[in-house]
Structures are given as C-alpha cells and as structure tokens.
Amino acid sequence: MQTIIHYSLHFIVPFFIAYYFFRNDWKKVYLILLATMLIDLDHLLANPIFQPDRCSIGFHPLHSFYIIPFYFALLFFRKPFSIIGIGLVLHVFTDSLDCLITFSHCKDCLISGLILSGFHSHF
C-alpha cells in the first residue's frame, strides 16, 4: 500500500493539480511537475544508492533541511517558478509521508534513521 501511495502522489496527484488548476496549459504544467522529480538524482550520490529503510528527507543534498525552504519560497514567484515550487513541495511532502509510513511501526528505527541522516545536528 505504501508504494501505491508514494507513486500516486508522485504521478497522479500532479496530473490532477495540472488539470484542475491550470486547465489551459495542463499538459505543460504536468510535465513541469513531473520534471521536479529530477531532484531524486541526488540519490545517485549515496552509497548504497538505494536503501529501503533510509529516509530521503535530511539525507540527500536536494532533500536537505537547508534547501527545502527554497522550494517553499518558489511558490511565491511567477510561473513557471511557482509551478516548480508546487512540484518540489509535493515531492518533499511525498517523501516525508513515505518516511513516516516506513518508520511508523518502529520508533527506534525512526530515531536511528534521523540520527544517521544528520537530523539531530539541526537542533
């Protein structure tokens, strides 16, 4: 179920956002929203590249606590920057929800995941 939620938020929700809020340019907007998933290229910098119990938020450079506020700031600019901001914020929300679901069954896993990601150094 977690996989369905994750990929629905990455592919289906952006379609509805594009179609209902940008009806005249929905195809272009949908492609921009999909393109924001390129922030996942930072996963290629990790070793190992994929680890099922690793939380992206706070671990990968483009998912860091330092850059996420800039994604929110993009929401206040004109198109296409606001659309890019929507896509990036939705992406971060999706990955955050994925982390919560992954660690919902194991509080110790969440804490160790946050410590490994460097989250503790932000407080």
| pLDDT per residue as tens digits for the range 70-109 | 999 999 999 999 999 999 999 999 999 988 888 777 666 6
Dist. CA 62–CA 20, nearest whole Å: 28
- pLDDT (0 to 100) of residue 123: 35
- pLDDT (0 to 100) of residue 40: 93
* Over residues 49-72, mean pLDDT: 89
Dist. CA 42–CA 111, nearest whole Å: 23
Dist. CA 48–CA 3, nearest whole Å: 20
Place 120 in a pLDDT band, splitting at 50, 70 and 90: very low
Token duo for residue 21: 């809020």
Please tell me which residue, 108 or 15, carries the higher pLDDT value. 15
Instruction: Locate the domains of the chain by residue range.
Output: 2-122
- pLDDT (0 to 100) of residue 52: 75
In tens, the pLDDT along 23-51 reads: 999 999 999 999 999 999 998 998 888 88
